[in-house]
Structure 1
Amino acid sequence: MLGCLLILCRLHERKLTSDAALAGLPLVDGILTPSVFHRAARRAGLTSRVSDHQLSDINASLLPAVLLLNNNSACVVTSLNQEQNTARVIWPDLADAEVTVSLDTITQQYSGSLIYAQPEFHFDERASGGSFRARGHWFWSVIKQNRALYRDIIFAAVMINLLAVTMPLFVMNVYDRVVPNHATHTLWVLAAGVFVVLCADLGLRLMRGWFVDMGANRADIRLSAAIMEQILSMRLSERPASAGSFASNVQSFESIRSFIGSVTLVALVDLPFIFLFCAIIALINWLLVIPIIIGALAVLIYAVIAQRRMQRLSEKMMQASAMRNATLVECLSNLETIKVTGAASKMQGTWESTVLFLSKLTARMRLLASSVSNGAIWTQHVVAVSLIILGVYLIREGQLTQGGLIAAYLLSSRAMGPVGHAASLLSQYHHAVAAMNTLNRIMASPTERPEGRHRLNRPILRGEIEFRQVSFSYPNAEKQALNDISFKINAGEHVAILGRNGSGKSTVERLILGLYEPDAGTILIDGVDIRQLDPAELRRGMGYVPQDVSLFYGTLRDNLVMGISQVDDARIVHATNQSGLADFVDTHPSGFDMQVGERGELLSGGQRQSVAIARALIKESPILLLDEPTGSLDQRNEQQIKHSLQHSSHGRTLVLVTHRSALLSLVDRIIVVDNGQLVANGPKEEVLEALRQGKIGSAA
């Protein structure tokens, strides 16, 4: 599928690399599947759709297209000739070679499905002042895709409300015509008709509920995937200060899902039919409509007054819930530190005060919501009583029959029902609106792959790195982490970056990885501005060992090959031997299938660091970035890793950040930074001698 996508991009003159296409997508065993194909194609500006057609029914004007074949294979068909019984096909295994094959051969392998893909029309900045978004809103565009379902829901609601008139009319005719005349035959005919209507009503209600849930589930799958993709592609500069609070904001999507998936949402569709029921009641006697109008207006006026207070409470509840979740995540992440430092009392107090405040808000919100819903029920009963009282007087005056009164009573409950349901939706509505506003901010945050931007394809990096007058400061930081730094590292050169804590050493490596963009200046990789390269393709060419190693829940093998597809066991074993992890793995009963726990808590700090080193070496990338790679290792393992790096780093660019003098034998040049400024840059022996003599001072 990936090969077919790249072929389509070439035929449509769209730029896309394999790393950019697959980055962040849910692959199956590292393979692109048809269900995810449209998301990869969208990154190249292609819109795609899976269709089921016979070869003879394929629309030739929509070619080229991807044919899905048996045995999980695929090819690209560029043209069909039904008269000559041939097709022009490009097989991914043959690169760009286009061959002619018979339709009979293709038919034997064809699965019956194909993927059409065509370029989307691109609006430039001149259209609508540059503010037009071709793909629409992240939420409403997905809802729009299910408009056929919502059309069926509206149709079912219309039919249900029309059929709702049947029962009141049946009762009215029984009381006014059947009972006085003892017309039992008419009674059975009317009853049979009503039974058919009731069965149709039951079927329509079941179908409507099924369609509502189906639409919500379809939207949920697409929207949840879009939210997670946005989070994973978010720039680190946009990363929230609190992971727990951010997670709570993301989980607020459940409020939106419950709102669009709730059957009570159908009450909004039922609302216009109040006029239908009132019109029928008016035909019976127009005076009976007055209590319904007064009751409906009273419920709606009170709901509008209450909704302003609900809106403020919903916003505060969102903030308090985020704070509570942030406290919980922080406690779980630092449970050992809390116990050692005796901070349990403080964290418990913070938790209880937050929960107390949130419970008060929740109680007030429920009180308001219940006052609206219960007030609507009370009003409905008052309207019914008023209608009966008024009806008795009308019957006494001869202006209304008993059957007409009963029918009007039944229709009044049908008329007031949607009003009460719509009013009770206000509490859910404000929760959903608050969640939508929060998620809108998340979905609008800048990502590493802006829409409509095509990166330069550099499949192989040589390893040359250059900083030109680079300045950078972290978000919300009061001072710059780097200030006007310039240096160049040639391909294959081994360089150490030294400096005091907080001097900017680790920041240099993060900028090389493209995790942040410089505020000023330029970073070049192989002479190309790093902002022209796709982040996934850039990082594929770099092996990185961070200072603080965090592993993911799963097996040791999963953590070693994370982000790398199709790694053979020989590379894994070789990397573990180089990182000093082999002895531990060989003596463990589960070997590479051992569980490492969340954040690697089942391993020691040194073992986690060895895993990070092995993970960097498995990639066999041309650039190695090491940030205190032996900070948690003992002397024996440090010597082993130093010896391994002397061989494995040969021919690669090595950037080493360390405080260990023993590792300086790996490098030929030293760069010294202090307070974000470059204070020394030269051969290792000269810089070390200058440091010993105190000739290199701190930055002013």
Structure 2
Amino acid sequence: MEQGPRLDGQAAAILARANREEGTAAQGQQFVTDPLRPSNVDFMPGILRCMSILLRLKGVIVSPQFLMAGLNGSHVTPEGCLRVARKAGLAGRILYRPRLEDIPALTLPCILLLSNDRACVLVSKKGEHIQVIFPETDNAAQNVPLEALKGEYSGYALFASVESKPDERTNAFTIARGKRWFWDVLRYYAPIYRHVALASIVTNLIAVATPLFVMNVYDRVVPNAAMETLWVLATGVLIAYIFDFALRSMRVYFVDVAGRNADVVLSSTLMNKVLSMRLDNKPESTGALANNLREFEQLRDFFSSSTLLACIDVPFLAIFIIFIGIIAGPMCLLPICAIPVLVGLGIAIQGLARRSAEASYKQSMQKNALLVEIVNGLETIKSSQAESRMQRLWEAIVGLSAKSNSESRKFNNLAVNASLLITQFVSVILVIWGVYRIEEGLMTMGALIGANILLGRTMAPLMQVASLLTRVQNSHVALKALDLLMALPSENEAEKTPLDFGMLRPSLTLEKVSFAYPKAQRLALDQVSLHIEPGEHVGIIGTMGSGKSTLSRLLTGLYQPKEGAVKFGGVDIRQFATSELRSRVGVLPQDVVLFYGTIRDNIALGDPTINDHLVLRAASIAGVTDFLRNNPAGFAAQVGEQGKELSGGQRQAVALARALVHDPEVLILDEPTSNMDTDSERLLQRRLAQIARGRTLILITHRLSMLRLVDRLIILKEGRIVYDGPRDACELFHPKGQTAPQTSNAQTPNSRALHPQAAQRTQPEAHEQKPAQGPRVQTATRPAQGSGQAGTRLQPKILRTQPNVTPKPGTSRENTQDSQS
């Protein structure tokens, strides 16, 4: 099993003691934890902390979590850290400096790479002492003797500087807009294409050798039987052909290299855009989005195949026309007149072909979207006996797509046949004209044959471009579609410098937050305000579509509010880098998604370098070890695509372990036991009750039994809070006819004065000294399979609220996209 970053002996012993009781929990006994939590141990690799310190010394404040989120692969290397640091505006490289004395003072600070994969930051040098910052000493500089560090120094140092760039005041003067993400990459590889152009000049000049050879053979060798001259000419033209072969091979190689490098950069840019896309602006159809990304192959083929070479050869038509003029005189006017005709015909067909290509592209998107829906919902289709309906839909879409493709091919064939016809006409006219000129003694037979060969070479690139009309149009449409994708807003778009906020109180606040999904006519959340203190355990319930899952996504920054603000530790979450915010919050979403790989890969999904002790601890809490106990593969067991090899409850346990693996300050659990049986749920409750001590817990559920873990209850209805107060004061937990216990403000620290409606429901009236009555709630419960309260699901129905908390008429309801929450 792959190991994460190594710990020193003391840290390893502390963590082992903190997890000593996990084996007992895996056997179904009560989970016991040591007061020291994994979150109290720093697992951040030293090189990342050194990079964060170096950036801070250079004037750029970046958290190590921001750098960690940008790493690829399972190993933290100095080269990988440099690539990530470029996102923060730092440019640098690793140099070999065998002696510390060889490092100039003007290049400081820099990172020294030490033995055993360690590092430190060299701040300054003063004689026989140097000032360094070790990542283990919390940014405190230390004076260390030079000789003491020489034994640890590996001879390599990382030097970096902050790149200077114009500030935001210059944005208004930006001239070039649009598809810069695409053209800038090609412009970067323009030097390679210059080599291709130079090779094209030489190959086109060599192409003149054939007509010259034929002309001299007919005019000089044949009439005079000059065999020696024949062999000299043949040897020369064969040598020219060998050079032509070499140059053409090199030209194809250079185009392939440039196309391959551009493909890697552009594909990475597109995937980075998809991964950083704001979810509230994500395209509705996953299949259509996948089709747009797949159509990038059209662009890749265009810029890394013979298509580009044909386009490069077009400007060299002038060379052949000049040689025709030298050999045949005024007969060069024939290709000069034919070229505008071909170009005009191509322009006329382009407009029709463009509309056909756009229609074909749309049909391809729809076909791909339906295909993804059918494959993902195959079980539902079979159980609903909807095969015939899906077959009809598929055949209808395929028919439309085939019609559009046929129309595109029709225009392409028209362009090819028309260019071929014009070329044949010009060739016949040239021969007829040449015969008359031979009769008049103005040219020779060899000149006529050579001119005819040059004419064919002149018209060949135009015919080849005409045959590629469909590919050109498809590439143009694909570029437009990808440009629309690149124009979508991304997370951290307004982030100039991702600050490191350090230690913050894990409190959560919503201030008059409203949110609506794109194209929705109603609000999913309407003027919601609440405050959650650190260490508070809060349950959120409500009917379907009331806004529970939307609220959890707003708290983690997946959605941005239309109005109001969401704050973590008193700081607006829009000031955080997304990696900084989500490293503090563990989330179990309602819809669990696993990726192809092992169970360990899915638990450590966001951090492949994570220590195995943390993986085992999280798996024990979530109950993953319960079903892995008898599996020979253990944590190396494959989950299949989307976790199809696991049951629903097992997938939920793996996802819960993923949320707990870093022991986050805040836990947001959305229906954590919806797919678990009664025994598994009770065991999870006991484990969560221990692990959630001292942690902020937000539990979204329909099960009354899970609410034992919370002290405060929030009820949502139609995107508004209709109850916010102590759990025990809510009428849901008292049989009909019983009165809720009286609760004073002094005795209920969990009641929230931030929400005035909730405060009026939970605090007694001062002038009457009567206990406040919460909203009367009638519950329709349905016992699940199994015994006890663990299987009970809640369907609250608000019957009456006090006048000051009654929702206003016309209150917006949540969009149907959240109806499954």
Same fold at TM > 0.5: yes
Alignment: residue pair count: 693
Letter in 1 for 2:368: N
- CA gap 1:33/1:226 in 2 versus in 1, 3 angstroms: farther
Aligned partners of 1:304, 1:134: CA distance in 2, in Å? 26
Task: Tell me the equivalent position of 1:350.
Answer: 393
Aligned partners of 1:366, 1:22: CA distance in 2, in Å? 49
Work out whether residues 70 and 84 of structure 2, in 8 Å CA contact, stay in contact via their aligned partners in 1: no
| Structure with larger RCO (C-alpha < 8 A, sep 6+) | 2
Task: Tell me the equivalent position of 1:411.
Answer: 454
Aligned partners of 2:97, 2:217: CA distance in 1, in Å? 56
More helix by share: 1
Deviation at 1:304, TM superposition (A): 1.2
Letter in 1 for 2:452: Y
Q: Which moved more, 1:513-522 or 1:384-393?
A: 384-393
Deviation at 1:644, TM superposition (A): 0.9
Aligned partners of 1:67, 1:177: CA distance in 2, in Å? 76
Deviation at 1:93, TM superposition (A): 6.8
Where do residues 219-234 of structure 1 align in structure 2 (5 Å cutoff)? Answer: 219-234=262-277
The secondary structure found in structure 1 opposite 2:526 is strand
Deviation at 1:532, TM superposition (A): 0.8
Task: Tell me the equivalent position of 2:48.
Answer: 2
Aligned partners of 2:151, 2:208: CA distance in 1, in Å? 58
Determine which of 247, 258, 276 is the counterpart of 1:204.
Answer: 247
Where do residues 486-565 of structure 1 align in structure 2 (5 Å cutoff)? Answer: 486-565=529-608
Task: Tell me the equivalent position of 1:326.
Answer: 369
Aligned partners of 1:651, 1:639: CA distance in 2, in Å? 21
The secondary structure found in structure 1 opposite 2:312 is helix
Deviation at 1:109, TM superposition (A): 4.2
Deviation at 1:651, TM superposition (A): 0.1
Letter in 2 for 1:6: S
Q: Which moved more, 1:671-680 or 1:448-457?
A: 448-457
Task: Tell me the equivalent position of 1:17.
Answer: 63
Task: Tell me the equivalent position of 1:29.
Answer: 74
The secondary structure found in structure 2 opposite 1:492 is coil
Where do residues 392-403 of structure 1 align in structure 2 (5 Å cutoff)? Answer: 392-403=435-446
TM-score (norm 1): 0.91
Task: Tell me the equivalent position of 1:46.
Answer: 90
* Per-residue Cα deviation, 1:324-362 (whole angstroms, up to 9, x for no partner): 000000011111111111222221111111111111111
Q: Which moved more, 1:357-366 or 1:115-124?
A: 115-124
Structure 2: segments with no counterpart, 5+ residues: 1-46, 732-739, 741-773, 778-798, 809-821
Letter in 1 for 2:192: L
Task: Tell me the equivalent position of 2:382.
Answer: 339
TM-score (norm 2): 0.78
Aligned partners of 1:79, 1:426: CA distance in 2, in Å? 63
Determine which of 156, 167, 192 is the counterpart of 1:149.
Answer: 192
The secondary structure found in structure 1 opposite 2:181 is coil
Task: Tell me the equivalent position of 1:302.
Answer: 345
Aligned partners of 2:176, 2:258: CA distance in 1, in Å? 24
Where do residues 290-689 of structure 1 align in structure 2 (5 Å cutoff)? Answer: 290-450=333-493, 453-688=496-731, 689=740
Deviation at 1:652, TM superposition (A): 0.3
Aligned partners of 2:421, 2:315: CA distance in 1, in Å? 22
Where do residues 272-291 of structure 1 align in structure 2 (5 Å cutoff)? Answer: 272-291=315-334
The secondary structure found in structure 2 opposite 1:201 is helix
Task: Tell me the equivalent position of 1:269.
Answer: 312
Work out whether residues 235 and 447 of structure 1, in 8 Å CA contact, stay in contact via their aligned partners in 2: yes
Work out whether residues 420 and 463 of structure 2, in 8 Å CA contact, stay in contact via their aligned partners in 1: yes
Q: Which moved more, 1:162-171 or 1:199-208?
A: 162-171
Aligned partners of 1:54, 1:403: CA distance in 2, in Å? 72
Aligned partners of 1:379, 1:105: CA distance in 2, in Å? 79
Letter in 1 for 2:76: I
- CA gap 1:575/1:276 in 2 versus in 1, 3 angstroms: closer
Q: Which moved more, 1:354-363 or 1:260-269?
A: 260-269
Letter in 2 for 1:699: P
Instruction: Give me the CA root mean square deviation.
Output: 3.2
Structure 1: segments with no counterpart, 5+ residues: none
The secondary structure found in structure 2 opposite 1:471 is strand
Deviation at 1:439, TM superposition (A): 0.7
* Per-residue Cα deviation, 1:371-413 (whole angstroms, up to 9, x for no partner): 2223323333332222122111110110001121121112111
Where do residues 123-134 of structure 1 align in structure 2 (5 Å cutoff)? Answer: 123-127=166-170, 129=172, 131=174
Letter in 2 for 1:337: T
The secondary structure found in structure 1 opposite 2:391 is helix
* Per-residue Cα deviation, 1:146-173 (whole angstroms, up to 9, x for no partner): 1221110011011111222222222222
Aligned partners of 2:308, 2:415: CA distance in 1, in Å? 16
Aligned partners of 2:214, 2:477: CA distance in 1, in Å? 46
The secondary structure found in structure 2 opposite 1:501 is coil
Aligned partners of 1:578, 1:108: CA distance in 2, in Å? 42
Aligned partners of 2:434, 2:508: CA distance in 1, in Å? 90
Deviation at 1:610, TM superposition (A): 1.8
The secondary structure found in structure 2 opposite 1:511 is helix
Deviation at 1:14, TM superposition (A): 1.5
The secondary structure found in structure 2 opposite 1:285 is helix
Work out whether residues 460 and 541 of structure 1, in 8 Å CA contact, stay in contact via their aligned partners in 2: no
- CA gap 1:654/1:351 in 2 versus in 1, 3 angstroms: same
Where do residues 58-207 of structure 1 align in structure 2 (5 Å cutoff)? Answer: 97=141, 109-110=154-155, 117-127=160-170, 129=172, 131=174, 137-207=180-250
Letter in 2 for 1:375: A
Deviation at 1:496, TM superposition (A): 1.0
Work out whether residues 459 and 537 of structure 1, in 8 Å CA contact, stay in contact via their aligned partners in 2: no
- CA gap 1:493/1:107 in 2 versus in 1, 3 angstroms: closer
Letter in 2 for 1:599: Q
* Per-residue Cα deviation, 1:497-516 (whole angstroms, up to 9, x for no partner): 12211111222111111111
* Per-residue Cα deviation, 1:73-113 (whole angstroms, up to 9, x for no partner): 777778999xx9999987767767587869x97999457xx
Q: Which moved more, 1:166-175 or 1:568-577?
A: 568-577
Deviation at 1:285, TM superposition (A): 2.5
* Per-residue Cα deviation, 1:414-456 (whole angstroms, up to 9, x for no partner): 1111111222232211111111111111112111121662233
Work out whether residues 98 and 154 of structure 2, in 8 Å CA contact, stay in contact via their aligned partners in 1: no
Task: Tell me the equivalent position of 1:699.
Answer: 807
- CA gap 1:67/1:165 in 2 versus in 1, 3 angstroms: farther
Aligned partners of 1:12, 1:133: CA distance in 2, in Å? 31
* Per-residue Cα deviation, 1:480-529 (whole angstroms, up to 9, x for no partner): 11111111111001111122111112221111111111111111111111
- CA gap 1:439/1:39 in 2 versus in 1, 3 angstroms: farther
Deviation at 1:581, TM superposition (A): 3.0
Report percent identity of matched pairs: 39
Task: Tell me the equivalent position of 2:748.
Answer: none
Deviation at 1:575, TM superposition (A): 2.6
Work out whether residues 516 and 522 of structure 2, in 8 Å CA contact, stay in contact via their aligned partners in 1: yes
Aligned partners of 1:298, 1:481: CA distance in 2, in Å? 60
Aligned partners of 1:15, 1:131: CA distance in 2, in Å? 27
Q: Which moved more, 1:428-437 or 1:172-181?
A: 172-181
